[in-house]
Chain A
């Protein structure tokens, strides 16, 4: 009898505990509205929030703009799939030249007015207006009639047509399988004419869009966004998001420990610290960001004209050892050029392993038996894509026979020398595009150094595959063509494949919903983020 009682009590206890646990679990997982999130901005001071004033590498501004401005379509940031935004659906014609977008009813600007197809015409023509001297004009360059509009022959772009308030038709000059990827860029977001005109220059300070958050203020180092109650997707959980420019990693670390900020991107020494921290090791987000750190060779002049010398450089360096010991594991070794987070990732691709003997042989075959002197330009401070990173590779290079002279330069001087071809090689980081085709197409021979083809690479076979890929509507076939181009690129070695970026962020225990965004860890979809009541800023 006693046994039975004990058993009953035990069963009851277990049941009670599991119900309690389930409630606790449910509480923890149930998103909560309210609170403020403070996100440090780590790259450089903000410049402008006007989407037509920034290029697609301006991560410091884009991470804020994407919270407040939206276009026809957008990325689902964690997966980098293109999803509906103001347009609920779209169709592409058989010939791949006409795109018809169906806008959702009830999407509102922050000023309360409904977004219609005419607003897209205004925003797109503003982007291409020569008087605006906008930066991301590549987005719409291929629209039918854009040349006449720029030349002032036509008042409007003929390739843009309003069918009705909720239907927009866009016609292209030629097939561009990456057109939708371009429409995702901040430059293609929709803005209301009345706000642009009434705010004038101040539009870049507090722009008006139709995203989940609206601009409240920009004072000094802080940009404050507040929840937009009428967002078509429902109001975001957080009341407020504050972006605070904090360029000093030590200051971010101190602010994080003092609970003044809710998350922070880590540098490699901080990564080591938090990875081994009993509390915070469970609050780390790691992602293979789509950036390739590389050293572009001058393929037109000097020793690197010879492919053997370029390959020798790649074989000479133990990349894995540098990543492990110098970056403390905060990067991934490169195989080819396209990072592992892209759909083109090719595990069968054979890159350059560490083979100092082969490096020496290749140099000897190139006629540099007694070594070769090279000059490398680069950013003076960056440990992952600047001169400090190359410094870690110098002992390997010297052992193989390269006599290295490092020239740290600030950006303007560096670009000037690079574009003029006054260098043997230069360290950099390239990428930041979710489309593999765009990612690798910067090396098409039609582009000059100033346009991103830093090594001034030229190979008609490489061009051929990419041109085919640019016309291939079938996704899998397209990826296969890009992989073929990449194989040629890797064999030609116009660059040293140094490392792929690894982004790491640590967040406070009360934060929920941050995602490993491969495009850039700072590009967090803040509308999905929430804080529980243990946050000091929960109210």
Chain B
């Protein structure tokens, strides 16, 4: 187990190196740079100012030198200074990451509990009216654009019923979290409901399920110990991958609900060519992906004792 962990962590290094290289090249071949956009958003900035900023930010140095400098600083744990915000990148990301993690974690929690529960229930009652309704709901959940859903919920729950605040972060209280988390989570819930339904249906007719039943186990025990546990493996994989993706795709929900998280930081930084912040954000998201995948692998071992880590 320990060797497995160490090996996986060492494998992170080449992955991260490759990622930094790709990000660096992509960000630097895009037309326009941060200096051009720093003064006035629609242009019309004094060329002297633009040149001074390029010099200050080292944008006039050749690409290889900038890449080596970036790597050198990265090893020291220094992500640099944001062009746009004139603040340390680590500080900016730190502030935003927690906001997004909180949103994504709540959305995922809601998606997993709701989705797996619904999927399992539908599969066990395959073909029933409830199954059909649940699956129609799942298709709808996957198809509804979340900005629309967000606005509708805002109006219905926030304005007409007046039971929750319409938007804002509100210092991080639960009331401000519910609508954004639901809006972000609904699509993933629908996806997980469909996934877990088909996973359960795959398992239901396996020999070991028949064996469990024929040896006289109670139906509940068969469902939970044999069907549910085995069906969870593909579901966990999908949920893990989705969580990583969710971190990078919260921007719509963040914008609609006026939150400032990693998603909006990423988009603002792309538009303003704020390369240091972009590099930092993408690195954090890649690390999150890698760590979640590792965790998913570890959970496999718990769910299926046949999986060995060596």
Residues of chain A touching chain B, judged by Cβ–Cβ distance below 8 Å, are: 44-45, 47-48, 50, 53, 55-58, 130, 133-138, 201, 204-205, 219-222, 244-248, 250-251, 254-255, 257-258, 260, 410-413, 415-419, 428-430, 442, 448-452, 454
- Tell me, rounded to whole Å, the shortest Cβ–Cβ distance linking A108 to chain B: 27
Please tell me if the beta carbons of B43 and A418 are within 8 angstroms of each other in the complex.
yes
Please tell me if the beta carbons of A254 and B86 are within 8 angstroms of each other in the complex.
no
**The 6 residue pairs across chains A and B that have the minimum distance between CB atoms:** A412-B32, A452-B44, A55-B39, A57-B40, A55-B40, A416-B31
B52 at the interface (CB under 8 A from A): yes
In the complex, which residues of chain B have a beta carbon less than 8 angstroms from the beta carbon of A55?
A: 38-41, 45
Residues of chain B touching chain A, judged by Cβ–Cβ distance below 8 Å, are: 30-33, 36-50, 52-53, 55-56, 81, 84-88, 95, 99, 147, 150-151, 154-155, 158-159, 162, 165-169, 171, 255-260, 264, 268, 271-273
- The verdict on A254 contacting B271 (CB below 8 Å), with A48-B86, A204-B87 known, is no
- Tell me, rounded to whole Å, the shortest Cβ–Cβ distance linking A324 to chain B: 26
Instruction: Give the contacting residue for A221; candidates B37, B55, B169; CB below 8 A.
Output: B169
- The verdict on A251 contacting B44 (CB below 8 Å), with A133-B56, A412-B273, A413-B32 known, is no
Please tell me if the beta carbons of A221 and B46 are within 8 angstroms of each other in the complex.
no
Instruction: Give the contacting residue for A137; candidates B49, B150, B268; CB below 8 A.
Output: B49
**Which of A247, A254, A451: most chain B Cβ within 10 A?**
A254
In the complex, which residues of chain B have a beta carbon less than 8 angstroms from the beta carbon of A258?
A: 158-159, 162, 165-166
Please tell me if the beta carbons of A248 and B255 are within 8 angstroms of each other in the complex.
yes
In the complex, which residues of chain A have a beta carbon less than 8 angstroms from the beta carbon of B273?
A: 412
In the complex, which residues of chain B have a beta carbon less than 8 angstroms from the beta carbon of A48?
A: 85-86
In the complex, which residues of chain A have a beta carbon less than 8 angstroms from the beta carbon of B53?
A: 133, 135
CA of A134 to CA of B50, assembled, Å: 10
- The verdict on A411 contacting B41 (CB below 8 Å), with A45-B260, A133-B55 known, is yes
Please tell me if the beta carbons of A244 and B258 are within 8 angstroms of each other in the complex.
yes
CA of A48 to CA of B260, assembled, Å: 15
- The verdict on A47 contacting B158 (CB below 8 Å), with A245-B260, A416-B31 known, is no
Please tell me if the beta carbons of B41 and A248 are within 8 angstroms of each other in the complex.
no
Please tell me if the beta carbons of B50 and A450 are within 8 angstroms of each other in the complex.
yes
Instruction: Give the contacting residue for B42; candidates A130, A246, A428; CB below 8 A.
Output: A428
CA of A50 to CA of B256, assembled, Å: 28
CA of A412 to CA of B158, assembled, Å: 37
Please tell me if the beta carbons of A135 and B49 are within 8 angstroms of each other in the complex.
yes
Please tell me if the beta carbons of B271 and A411 are within 8 angstroms of each other in the complex.
yes
CA of A257 to CA of B165, assembled, Å: 11
- Tell me, rounded to whole Å, the shortest Cβ–Cβ distance linking B153 to chain A: 10
Instruction: Give the contacting residue for B166; candidates A56, A260, A419; CB below 8 A.
Output: A260
Known contacts A411-B32, A450-B44, then 16 further A-B pairs from the complex at CB < 8 Å, ordered by chain A residue: A201-B87, A204-B85, A221-B258, A221-B260, A246-B258, A248-B255, A248-B258, A251-B166, A254-B158, A254-B159, A260-B168, A411-B42, A411-B271, A416-B36, A450-B47, A451-B46
Please tell me if the beta carbons of A410 and B271 are within 8 angstroms of each other in the complex.
yes
In the complex, which residues of chain A have a beta carbon less than 8 angstroms from the beta carbon of B40?
A: 55-58
CA of A57 to CA of B45, assembled, Å: 10
Instruction: Give the contacting residue for A44; candidates B43, B151, B268; CB below 8 A.
Output: B268
Instruction: Give the contacting residue for A246; candidates B33, B48, B167; CB below 8 A.
Output: B167
Please tell me if the beta carbons of A416 and B167 are within 8 angstroms of each other in the complex.
no
CA of A135 to CA of B50, assembled, Å: 8
Look across to chain B and name the residue whose beta carbon is closest to the beta carbon of A134. Answer: B49
Look across to chain B and name the residue whose beta carbon is closest to the beta carbon of A138. Answer: B46
- Tell me, rounded to whole Å, the shortest Cβ–Cβ distance linking A244 to chain B: 6
CA of A413 to CA of B271, assembled, Å: 9
Please tell me if the beta carbons of B264 and A45 are within 8 angstroms of each other in the complex.
yes
In the complex, which residues of chain A have a beta carbon less than 8 angstroms from the beta carbon of B44?
A: 57, 430, 442, 450-452, 454
In the complex, which residues of chain B have a beta carbon less than 8 angstroms from the beta carbon of A257?
A: 159
Instruction: Give the contacting residue for B52; candidates A130, A220, A254, A412; CB below 8 A.
Output: A130
- The verdict on A133 contacting B36 (CB below 8 Å), with A45-B260, A48-B86, A251-B256 known, is no
In the complex, which residues of chain A have a beta carbon less than 8 angstroms from the beta carbon of B39?
A: 55, 57, 135-136
- The verdict on A254 contacting B36 (CB below 8 Å), with A133-B56, A451-B47, A454-B43 known, is no
Look across to chain B and name the residue whose beta carbon is closest to the beta carbon of A454. Answer: B43
Please tell me if the beta carbons of A415 and B37 are within 8 angstroms of each other in the complex.
yes
Please tell me if the beta carbons of B271 and A412 are within 8 angstroms of each other in the complex.
yes
CA of A134 to CA of B48, assembled, Å: 10
- Tell me, rounded to whole Å, the shortest Cβ–Cβ distance linking A60 to chain B: 9
Instruction: Give the contacting residue for B165; candidates A246, A260, A412; CB below 8 A.
Output: A260
- The verdict on A220 contacting B85 (CB below 8 Å), with A56-B40, A248-B258, A250-B154 known, is no
In the complex, which residues of chain A have a beta carbon less than 8 angstroms from the beta carbon of B87?
A: 201, 204-205
Look across to chain A and name the residue whose beta carbon is closest to the beta carbon of B55. Answer: A133
In the complex, which residues of chain B have a beta carbon less than 8 angstroms from the beta carbon of A50?
A: 86
- Tell me, rounded to whole Å, the shortest Cβ–Cβ distance linking A45 to chain B: 5
- Tell me, rounded to whole Å, the shortest Cβ–Cβ distance linking A64 to chain B: 15
In the complex, which residues of chain A have a beta carbon less than 8 angstroms from the beta carbon of B167?
A: 246, 251, 254-255, 260
Instruction: Give the contacting residue for B95; candidates A57, A204, A220; CB below 8 A.
Output: A220
Please tell me if the beta carbons of A254 and B151 are within 8 angstroms of each other in the complex.
yes
Instruction: Give the contacting residue for A415; candidates B36, B84, B256, B268; CB below 8 A.
Output: B36
Please tell me if the beta carbons of A430 and B45 are within 8 angstroms of each other in the complex.
no
CA of A449 to CA of B33, assembled, Å: 16
In the complex, which residues of chain B have a beta carbon less than 8 angstroms from the beta carbon of A248?
A: 147, 151, 255-256, 258
In the complex, which residues of chain A have a beta carbon less than 8 angstroms from the beta carbon of B86?
A: 48, 50, 53, 201, 204
CA of A450 to CA of B35, assembled, Å: 12
Look across to chain B and name the residue whose beta carbon is closest to the beta carbon of A38. Answer: B168
- Tell me, rounded to whole Å, the shortest Cβ–Cβ distance linking B255 to chain A: 6
CA of A43 to CA of B40, assembled, Å: 13
- Tell me, rounded to whole Å, the shortest Cβ–Cβ distance linking A469 to chain B: 20
CA of A247 to CA of B56, assembled, Å: 31
- The verdict on A411 contacting B37 (CB below 8 Å), with A133-B52, A419-B43 known, is yes
In the complex, which residues of chain A have a beta carbon less than 8 angstroms from the beta carbon of B41?
A: 44, 55, 57-58, 411
- Tell me, rounded to whole Å, the shortest Cβ–Cβ distance linking B81 to chain A: 8
In the complex, which residues of chain A have a beta carbon less than 8 angstroms from the beta carbon of B147?
A: 248
- The verdict on A251 contacting B154 (CB below 8 Å), with A137-B49, A412-B33, A430-B42 known, is yes
CA of A201 to CA of B89, assembled, Å: 12
- The verdict on A251 contacting B271 (CB below 8 Å), with A137-B46, A412-B36 known, is no
Please tell me if the beta carbons of B47 and A57 are within 8 angstroms of each other in the complex.
no
- The verdict on A415 contacting B165 (CB below 8 Å), with A57-B41, A135-B38, A450-B45 known, is no
- Tell me, rounded to whole Å, the shortest Cβ–Cβ distance linking A103 to chain B: 29
CA of A339 to CA of B259, assembled, Å: 36
In the complex, which residues of chain A have a beta carbon less than 8 angstroms from the beta carbon of B31?
A: 412-413, 416-417
Please tell me if the beta carbons of B151 and A251 are within 8 angstroms of each other in the complex.
yes
- The verdict on A221 contacting B151 (CB below 8 Å), with A204-B86, A429-B42 known, is no
